[in-house]
Amino acid sequence: MKQKARIKVRFNLGKGVNYLKWKITYPTGEVAYYNPTDVQLVMDNCELRNSKKTATKIFNGGEKVVCAWILCEKITIITENFTQYDTICTHMVSYNPRVTPNWVCEGINVDGMSMQRLGTVDRQIWLVH
């Protein structure tokens, strides 16, 4: 059975006009960038992915390059009336290969895990119940 095409979301750390913005790549190849203070992303049926080999190199002092992303089936981009997930949710999901070479939620490695819904607050990602 062919896997359904998914939306790819990651935080853009490449220098330039889209530095520190959310990068969304749609299955059609269309790419959009959003300033995290101007929008809130709500992602449904998500999977946390990364390149473990690249992440380990970064963790060991190598150059920081793209190595983590979220795959989701649906994304909603909200431009007003944001939900403050950071005040109502207790589980932040994070990724920083300089600290640990995997996705983390409450100190637990969650690489490859599926999550029903994730929401952003600025540059943070929260598990939404």
2 pLDDT above the threshold of 60: no
Per-residue pLDDT, 70: 98
Confidence of residue 124 (pLDDT cuts 50, 70, 90): very high
Query: Pseudo-torsion of CA 49, 103, 116, 46, nearest 10°?
Result: -20
Confidence of residue 89 (pLDDT cuts 50, 70, 90): confident
Residue 46's alpha-carbon distances to 8, 63, 72, 118, in angstroms, are: 10, 27, 4, 7
Lowest mean pLDDT among 2-6, 22-26, 81-85: 2-6
For 28-60, write each residue's pLDDT tens digit: 999 999 999 999 999 999 999 999 999 999 999
Cα atoms in the 13 Å half-sphere on the side-chain side of 7? 20
Q: Which residues contact 71 (CB under 8 A, 6 or more apart)?
A: 6, 7, 8, 9, 46, 47, 49
pTM: 0.93
pLDDT greater than 90 at residue 16:
yes
Percent over 70 (pLDDT), the chain = 98
- Cα 59 to Cα 50: distance, rounded to the nearest angstrom: 13
Which range (12-16, 21-25, 91-95, 98-102) has the least confidence? Answer: 12-16
